Amino acid sequence: MTTPRTKILVTGGAGYIGSHAVVELYQAGYQPVIVDNFSNSQESALAGIESILGTTVPIYRIDCADEAALRGVFAAEPNIAGVIHFAAFKAVGESVQKPLAYFKNNVGSMLALLAVMPEFGVENLVFSSSCTVYGIPDALPVTEATPTKPASSPYGRTKQMCEDIVHDVAAAPDNKLRTILLRYFNPIGAHESAKIGELPLGVPNNLVPFITQTAAGIREKLTINGSDYDTPDGTNIRDYIHVVDLAKSHVVAVQRLLDHKATDTVETFNVGTGHGNSVLEVVKTFEQVTGQKLNYSIGPRRPGDVPAIYADATKAAEVLGFRTETSLADSLASAWKWQQTLAK
């Protein structure tokens, strides 16, 4: 008789990072169970996941902020060992336009999860946080001990609030919850199979999908948001991490919780490469690796942009044994391969 796979609930499991995490979890021997309401994801992600894995994955089409519906999922899926909580809105600009929608969805889904998990004795949580919690850092690279700063958008504030909520819940006397907060830097690229990847709806906000859509002729040109920053080439610096590397960090985080290796009720890790690249470096690397000439020009600064941020990735390496494996060039090549697949 084969041992049943350890069940991990993945909220937002049909989304960009969630879908890659579902694949990595299954390939590491876990049984992912997806919760997604497809508000910012597509059914085609499920077909991609199933094609890569050669098996179906249970999916519950519910809103994670709907506590009663979430309770129904936990009741239908006994023995969930842990939860990875991705489900959230993530567009910085949109969050300024619709702040209430962001608080309702991002904070609401966290509250619903934290209410329902203990009812079913589920004690392990991995949460998708963001480097946005550091604001404009005073020194680089940022470590987990770098103080957080006021968020520059409602989106960023939802990530800070969710971190705060988790800390308060963990400090309660009867707490049994153990959480790993993963602070992502900038995820890019797609699965090597090009069966799953980012599916931006409408005009992309993020750099790499805008680059690939421009190269594919869907957008006329890329506008670089400012070249007068205090950085070597004047453009913003970010830490671009391949989405499959990022997905793998969730597998090691879950494993750490299930092995009872966490040394605190809440542990925080940066998940980045540890290297910063400027917007111009990303553009040039994309051109080199794909042979595509990119139509771009320099535009004004984008409000809310941090001049430069990249991770100190030491803690994740030393404590989780997590290191990224994919270069910027390979990450951009995978993004381009995915774009070409989408065009077909």
Residue from the set 80, 222, 253, 280 that interacts with ligand UD1 by CB under 6 A:
222
Minimum CB–partner distance for residue 185 and ligand UD1 (Å) = 8
Q: Radius of gyration of the chain from Cα atoms?
A: 19
The reply to whether 95 sits near ligand UD1 by the rule CB under 6 A is no
Stretch that binds ligand UD1, among 74-82, 107-115, 302-310, 332-340 (CB under 6 A): 302-310
Nearer of residues 82 and 154 to ligand UD1, judged by Cβ: 154
Decide: is 223 part of the binding site for ligand UD1 (CB under 6 A).
yes
- Which two three-digit tokens encode residue 32? 């992912």
Check binding of 106 to ligand UD1 (CB under 6 A). no
CA dihedral 125, 6, 122, 176 (to 10 degrees): -70
The first and second tokens of residue 126, run together, are 């991995």
Beta bridge partners of 184: 130, 271
Among 40, 41, 186, 290, which residue sits at the site for ligand UD1 (rule: CB under 6 A)?
A: 186
Closer CB to ligand UD1, 279 or 316, in the complex: 279
Minimum distance between the CB of residue 220 and ligand UD1, rounded to whole angstroms? 12
26 contact partners, CB below 8 Å, separation of at least 6: 32, 53, 55, 57
Q: Using the rule CB under 6 A, which residue among 98, 149, 302, 315 binds ligand UD1?
A: 302
User: Taking CB under 6 A as the rule, does residue 5 contact ligand UD1?
Assistant: no
Of the pair 57, 316, the CB lying nearest ligand UD1 is at: 316
Distance CA 20, CA 15 (A): 8
Is residue 236 part of the contact set for ligand UD1 (CB under 6 A)?
yes
| The total number of residues written for the chain in this structure | 344
Nearer to ligand UD1, 106 or 179 (CB): 106
C-alpha torsion angle, residues 208, 209, 211, 214 (rounded to 10): 180
Structure-token pair, residue 283: 């553009």
Q: What's the sign of the alpha-carbon dihedral 298, 275, 19, 215?
A: positive
Q: Cite the active site residues.
A: 155
Nearer residue to ligand UD1 within complex by CB, 33 or 222:
222
Q: Does 206 bind ligand UD1 (CB under 6 A)?
A: yes
How many other CB atoms are found less than 10 A from the CB of residue 307?
Answer: 16
| Least distance between ligand UD1 and beta carbon 309 (Å) | 7
Q: For the window 108-147, what string marks contact with ligand UD1 as x by the rule CB under 6 A?
A: ----------------------xxx---------------
Look up residue 15 and give its two tokens: 């989304």
Backbone φ and ψ for 56, nearest 5 degrees, come out as -85, 155
CA distance from start to end of the chain: 43
Q: For the CB of residue 292, give the shortest distance to ligand UD1 in the complex, in Å.
A: 16
Q: CB-wise, 9 or 133, nearer to ligand UD1?
A: 133
Q: Measured from the CB atom, is 224 or 342 closer to ligand UD1? A: 224
**Rounded Cα gap, residues 92 and 156, in angstroms:** 7
Contact between 205 and ligand UD1 per CB under 6 A: yes
| Binding to ligand UD1 in span 73-92, by CB under 6 A | 90, 92
* Bridge partners for 188 per DSSP: 242
Cβ atoms of 262 and 178 within 8 Å: the answer is: yes
Closest Cα to residue 182, out of 57, 17, 65? 17
Other beta carbons less than 10 A from residue 82's beta carbon: 23
Residues making contact with ligand UD1 (CB under 6 A): 90, 92, 130-132, 152-153, 156, 186, 205-207, 210, 222-225, 236, 238, 279, 302, 305-306
